[in-house]
């Protein structure tokens, strides 16, 4: 291949890359589209095929490294109406370009946990697990995902503070890791991707947790240890007889009535009793019930031993949709997403609390805000970079799904494909999968042609 041909091929990919999703930014208590300024609500699914303990760094694969599986799932998530997935168990030494690009083409953002269960802060012994080796891993995840336009956010940790015991010792480590990740990201010179915390829904410490991670530290340079948002893993609304009040969402809405950072459900979908009706969806996206909530992520994509799946992975490398998928899809279709793009301008001016013992109400909860110093060697990693894989969006070509997918009744889903969209996916933007199959790349050829010509002239 000549140099000129190489440039031509490269340029087409580059220009298709321009059809990337707009960045999502934090504005006061909301997420917003950085270009249109519209409020952005998360319509998401927690994505951890294989389950919580599936991470195996020696296997050579993780949940975003098998493009065929990502393509199949992106097509189905798009049909469901999702605009975001959250992933938990990623390996920083793998390349995720194709999967990230497939989800980007489908209008789906990524929220990335930097931890895996085996490599995270140990809530029973935080000081010994907060070390350079651990942070090195988290920086690898940052490098891997920071250049994808559809990376919405990172979680610095998940449910580190769970009860009175852990609320004594662990809160400073949430702020420490947040600080380290933000410093690492800032030193790389790219955009400031939001970094936040995913909290267990333990009501007696939830308000303290939120105040602790979101408060402003006087004198600290740029408040760098402050979380940009909070996710709540909330399973209190159970079954068809539950409602906004008895499902205890009203209490959450009250807790967060004047929130100064975005709040959303980082997991929701109580599965007892079965089957699930997903009635909580209508409250989550109601401007009346939960006006300050920025949506949520339904737990979870694949059926695992704990019985929360929307879909079932079969042994013969096919996938079957479960009843829960259809019910969730029909609930999402009832939501008027057009009604929630406007931001509350009064709330935009709410100021975060100042960190002090005054904002902590539970006796056990840390109220000293002594953020641990960085372990030795971390400053060098931040300064010089970790030198791991740095991801980038790539041209993913044909987006037709070739693996078999079955409906609940056993019939095969026909003409399944990702439909290329230029903005966030919405439950109404994808009406039928058959129509989706006929949509080509958005302006890819034409633009590539013009740019190719330019390179040719310059060459
Ligand atoms: C960070 O991880 C890389 C492998 O990704 C390794 O080569 C390097 O030694 C690690 N550095 C530290 C300080 O742990
Ligand atoms: C694959 O397995 C599923 C579930 O057992 C079954 O319904 C389907 O017919 C199988 N497909 C093929 C091609 O064997
Ligand atoms: C806007 O935010 C303010 C401050 O939190 C609140 O009092 C008000 O009720 C909100 N308005 C709407 C329409 O939600």
CATH number assigned to the domain comprising residue 72: 3.20.20.80
Position 455 pLDDT exceeds 60: no
327: left (phi over 0), alpha (psi -120 to 50) or beta: alpha
Position 222 pLDDT exceeds 50: yes
Give kind and range of the element (H or E) at residue 151.
Answer: strand 151-158
In a domain, 13, yes or no: no
In a domain, 3, yes or no: no
Q: Is the CB of 388 under 6 A from ligand 1?
A: yes
267 flagged as catalytic: yes
Q: What rounded mean pLDDT belongs to the chain?
A: 90
Position 160 pLDDT exceeds 60: yes
Position 433 pLDDT exceeds 50: no
Q: Which of the four pLDDT bands, split at 50, 70 and 90, describes residue 434?
A: very low
Q: Is the CB of 318 under 6 A from ligand 2?
A: yes
Ligand nearest to the CA of 143: 1
Ligand nearest to the CA of 320: 2
CA–centroid distance, residue 344 to ligand 3 (Å): 6
Position 454 pLDDT exceeds 70: no
Q: Is the CB of 274 under 6 A from ligand 3?
A: no
Ligand nearest to the CA of 406: 2
430 or 197, higher pLDDT: 197
Ligand nearest to the CA of 317: 2
Q: What is the residue whose two structure tokens read 């310059």?
A: 458
Position 98 pLDDT exceeds 50: yes
Considering 41, 98, 267, 280, which one is annotated as catalytic?
A: 267
- Overall size of the chain counted in residues: 459
Burial group, residue 261, by CB count within 10 angstroms (0-12, 13-18, 19+): buried
In a domain, 107, yes or no: yes
Interval 39-50: pLDDT, tens: 999 999 999 999
At residue 446, the pLDDT reads 31
In a domain, 354, yes or no: yes
Instruction: Identify the residue whose C-alpha is closest to ligand 2 atom 14.
Output: 316
159 flagged as catalytic: yes
Q: Which residue range forms the structural domain that includes residue 247? A: 22-403
Kindly report the three-state secondary structure assignment for every residue of 45-72: EEECCCCCCCCCCCCCCCCCCCHHHHHH
In a domain, 432, yes or no: no
In a domain, 243, yes or no: yes
Position 249 pLDDT exceeds 50: yes
Nearest atom of ligand 2 to the alpha carbon of 315: 2
CA distance 35 to 31: 12
Q: What is the mean pLDDT of residues 306-331?
A: 98
Position 431 pLDDT exceeds 60: no
Q: What is the pTM of this model?
A: 0.91
Q: At what angle do helices 323-334 and 67-80 cross, to 10 degrees?
A: 50
User: Considering its fold, how many domains does the chain have in total?
Assistant: 1
> DSSP letter at 217?
P
Interval 301-313: pLDDT, tens: 999 999 999 999 9
Q: Is the CB of 258 under 6 A from ligand 3?
A: yes
Spell out the residues 6+ positions from residue 324 whose beta carbon is closer than 8 angstroms to its own.
Answer: 275, 276, 278, 309, 310
CA distance 425 to 440: 16
CA–centroid distance, residue 248 to ligand 1 (Å): 45
Position 449 pLDDT exceeds 90: no
Give kind and range of the element (H or E) at residue 156.
Answer: strand 151-158
Q: How far is CA 101 from the centre of its chain?
A: 15
Q: Is the CB of 277 under 6 A from ligand 2?
A: no
CA distance 355 to 368: 9
At residue 19, the pLDDT reads 85
Q: Which of the four pLDDT bands, split at 50, 70 and 90, describes residue 432?
A: very low
CA–centroid distance, residue 225 to ligand 3 (Å): 27
In a domain, 419, yes or no: no
Position 205 pLDDT exceeds 90: yes
Q: Which two tokens stand for residue 228?
A: 């940009």
In 194-339 the beta strands, taken as DSSP E runs, fall at: 195-200, 230-234, 263-268, 293-298, 311-313, 319-321
Position 165 pLDDT exceeds 70: yes
Position 322 pLDDT exceeds 70: yes
CA 184-115-138 angle, to 5 degrees, is: 20
Whether 94 contacts 61, CB under 8 Å: yes
CA distance 266 to 258: 19
Q: Which of 303, 312, 313, 314 has the most ligand 2 atoms within 8 A of CB, as the residue to mutate?
A: 314
At residue 197, the pLDDT reads 98
Q: Is the CB of 349 under 6 A from ligand 3?
A: no
Q: Is the CB of 344 under 6 A from ligand 3?
A: yes
Q: Is the CB of 403 under 6 A from ligand 2?
A: no
In a domain, 144, yes or no: yes
Q: Which of these, 75, 107, 100, 82, lies nearest to 436 by C-alpha position?
A: 75
- Could you tell me what percentage of the chain is helix, strand and coil, using 3-state DSSP and rounding each to the nearest 5? 35, 15, 50
Dihedral sign for Cα atoms in the order 446, 447, 449, 454: positive
Q: Which of the four pLDDT bands, split at 50, 70 and 90, describes residue 447?
A: very low
């Amino acid at each position: 291949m000549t140099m000129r041909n190489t440039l031509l091929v490269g340029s087409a990919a580059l220009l298709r890359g321009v059809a990337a999703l707009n960045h999502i930014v934090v504005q006061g208590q909301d997420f917003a589209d950085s270009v249109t300024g519209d409020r952005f609500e998360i319509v998401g699914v927690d994505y951890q095929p294989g389950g919580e303990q599936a991470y195996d760094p020696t296997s050579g694969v993780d949940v975003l490294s098998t493009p065929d599986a990502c393509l199949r799932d992106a097509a189905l998530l798009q049909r469901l109406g999702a605009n975001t997935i959250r992933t938990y168990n990623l390996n920083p030494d793998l390349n995720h370009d194709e999967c990230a690009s497939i989800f980007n083409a489908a209008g789906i953002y990524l929220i990335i946990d930097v931890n895996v269960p085996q490599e995270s802060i140990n809530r029973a012994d935080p000081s010994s697990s907060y070390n350079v080796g651990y942070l090195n891993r988290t920086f690898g995840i940052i490098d891997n995902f920071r250049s994808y336009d559809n990376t919405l956010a990172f979680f610095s940790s998940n449910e580190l503070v769970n009860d009175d015991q852990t609320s004594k010792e662990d809160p400073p480590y949430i702020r420490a890791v947040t600080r380290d990740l933000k410093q690492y990201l800032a030193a790389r010179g790219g955009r400031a991707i939001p970094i936040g915390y995913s909290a267990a829904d333990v009501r007696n410490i939830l308000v303290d947790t939120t105040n602790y991670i979101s408060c402003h530290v006087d004198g600290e340079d740029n408040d760098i240890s402050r979380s940009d948002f909070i996710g709540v893993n909330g399973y209190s609304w159970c079954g068809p007889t539950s409602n906004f009040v008895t499902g205890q969402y009203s209490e959450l809405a009250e807790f967060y009535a004047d929130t100064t950072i975005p709040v959303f459900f980082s997991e929701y979908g109580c599965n007892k009793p079965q089957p699930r009706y997903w009635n909580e969806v209508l409250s989550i996206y109601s401007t009346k019930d939960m006006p300050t909530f920025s949506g949520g992520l339904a737990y979870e994509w694949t059926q695992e031993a704990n019985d929360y799946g929307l879909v079932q992975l079969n042994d013969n490398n096919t996938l079957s949709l479960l009843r829960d998928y259809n019910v969730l899809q029909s609930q999402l279709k009832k939501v008027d997403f057009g009604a929630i793009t406007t931001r509350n301008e009064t709330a935009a001016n709410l100021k975060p609390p100042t960190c002090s013992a005054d904002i902590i109400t539970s006796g056990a909860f840390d109220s000293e805000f002594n953020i641990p110093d960085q372990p030795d060697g971390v400053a060098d990693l931040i300064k010089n970079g970790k030198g791991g894989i740095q991801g980038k969006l790539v041209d993913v070509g044909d987006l037709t799904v070739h693996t078999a997918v079955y409906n609940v009744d056993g019939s095969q889903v026909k003409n399944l494909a990702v439909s290329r969209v230029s903005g966030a996916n919405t439950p109404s933007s994808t009406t039928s999968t058959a129509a989706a199959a006929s949509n080509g790349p958005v302006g890819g050829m034409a633009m590539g042609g013009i740019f190719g010509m330019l390179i040719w002239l310059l060459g």
